[in-house]
Amino acid sequence: MTHLISVDDPAELTNSGELDRHQCLDLLTGGGFGRVVGTDCALPAVHPISYVLHDHEVIFQAAAGSALAGTVGNVVAFQADEFDAVKGIGWTVLGIGKPYQLSTDAATLAIPLWRLTGHRLTR
């Protein structure tokens, strides 16, 4: 569902509370869609992914030779969020870690979440 924001009445999201590590992990447990944020040629690069959470690690697929696969060994951010526009509530979670190749499958990467923060959102 697409919601347009008008200049006269912009939608404003408010931080309605911080989430601790346990709460952040609970929100990520079901998996879903998120973003891996790193750099490509010293410029910011955002890669949309679908992920699952396993043992405090974000697991996702990356095509061999892609810029996303090139994040292996570099510090990246992982961000996921959810917002219900009808109810006006949601959350956002940000993790920091260094992706590595999971087993021998070059297409499967994991990010151990060294640092994890989050916020409840309201409109």
Question: pLDDT tens digit string along 22-63?
Answer: 999 999 998 999 999 999 888 999 999 999 999 999 999 999
In a domain, residue 3? The reply is no
In a domain, residue 11? The reply is no
pLDDT for residue 2:
45
pLDDT for residue 14:
67
Give the global pTM: 0.85
* Residue 87: partners with Cβ closer than 8 Å, 6 or more residues away: none
In a domain, residue 31? The reply is yes
In a domain, residue 10? The reply is no
At position 93, the amino acid (one-letter code) is V
Give pLDDT tens digits for 52-106.
999 999 999 999 889 999 999 999 999 999 998 888 899 999 999 999 998 776 7
Give the total number of structural domains in the chain. Answer: 1
In a domain, residue 79? The reply is yes
Tell whether the model's pLDDT for residue 7 goes beyond 70: no
- How far is residue 6's CA from residue 38's CA, in Å, rounded to a whole number? 31
pLDDT for residue 86:
87
Check which CATH number belongs to the domain holding 54 and give it.
2.30.110.10
pLDDT for residue 13:
65
